[in-house]
Amino acid sequence: MRVGVGSWTFPWAIGVPGYPAPADPLSLAGLLDRASELGVSVVQVADNLPLEGAGEEELRRFRDAARERNIAIEAGTRGVEPAHLLRYLEIARFLDARLLRTLTHTRDSRPDLPQIERWIREVLPAFKDAGVALALENYERHSCGELTGLIESIGSPYVGICLDTVNSLGALEGMREVVLQLAPYVLNVHVKDFHIRRLETMMGYLVTGCAAGEGRLDIDWVVGQITRQRKNVSLIVELWTPFSASVGETVALEREWAARSVRNLRQYEG
């Protein structure tokens, strides 16, 4: 397994809608610098730092710098409309990325499962020809059973799962249930650790993020289940860092958590 970071490791440094912008928002080059400083071998650029918003020269510099530092790039977006996926496939090819992670829904597009399958089948030959795998991330829009059925129906090694360890709580599915169902199809893992605490009123619970390896997530078990099925997948740190007193303090905290997370995941490399 390979340990990596991505744009969702540092969402506050990039900028979170509805909150003050950071003083110096993280760019593609800055994200790669962070990955290099942490000594990881993979960097994943997702929808909070849209690759289609970068010009060709910026993408070229990003790709060339990653090559020089021996850091693999994984691309990310959201949406499964054919034209959108093909646009991102070209970006992935330009960046030498072998994986494109996506979510099925966007603000303006909410296809049902049959439509999702038709759209993916439409672009699948192009992904196969390019040697790029499409990884669908689990989250609250679909149950893991629905995703499993979709992947099995498509039946291609170029379509699999980006397994997020917390997202499916929104679909009332626990981590063990999620991993056991999706492990055979995993192409990439978002390692997102968390705490759960009861509210002071005793009426409800609060789920908050933490550094990987310091919360409720049983990473040993997750990695064990996945490596039974797949060996060469990336473990990408993602953080749900709570807002602190200011954006600056929050950016500093997520950077500290990123470093601690990478240290805690080192044992799974190789």
Class at the top of the CATH hierarchy for domain 2-268: alpha beta
Query: What is the average pLDDT across 169-197?
Result: 96
Question: Residue 196: phi, psi to the nearest 5?
Answer: -125, 125
Query: What is the average pLDDT across 198-204?
Result: 96
Q: Please give the pLDDT value at position 230.
A: 78
Cα distances (Å, whole numbers) of residue 224 to 40, 174, 190, 210, 212: 21, 17, 15, 21, 16
- Whole-structure pTM over 0.85, yes or no? yes
Q: Residue 29, Cβ neighbours under 10 Å: how many?
A: 12
Residues 255, 38: Cα–Cα separation, whole Å: 10
Query: What is the average pLDDT across 126-136?
Result: 98
Q: Please give the pLDDT value at position 229.
A: 82
Query: What is the average pLDDT across 145-155?
Result: 98
241 pLDDT band (50/70/90 cuts)? very high
- Stretch among 64-78, 93-107, 220-234 having the lowest mean pLDDT: 220-234
Report pLDDT digits (tens) over 160-175: 999 999 999 999 999 9
Is residue 231's pLDDT more than 80? no
Asked if 207 contacts 174 with a C-beta cutoff of 8 angstroms, the reply is no
Q: Please give the pLDDT value at position 250.
A: 98
Asked if 57 contacts 94 with a C-beta cutoff of 8 angstroms, the reply is no
Q: What average pLDDT does the chain have?
A: 97
Q: Please give the pLDDT value at position 56.
A: 96
Query: What is the average pLDDT across 118-143?
Result: 97
Asked if 20 contacts 249 with a C-beta cutoff of 8 angstroms, the reply is no
- What's the token pair of residue 217? 């997530």
Q: Please give the pLDDT value at position 196.
A: 96
Query: What is the average pLDDT across 208-218?
Result: 97
| CB-neighbour burial class of residue 18 (10 A; exposed 0-12, middle 13-18, buried 19+) | exposed
Report pLDDT digits (tens) over 19-51: 999 999 999 999 999 999 999 999 999 999 999
Q: Please give the pLDDT value at position 232.
A: 86
Residues 161, 189: Cα–Cα separation, whole Å: 8
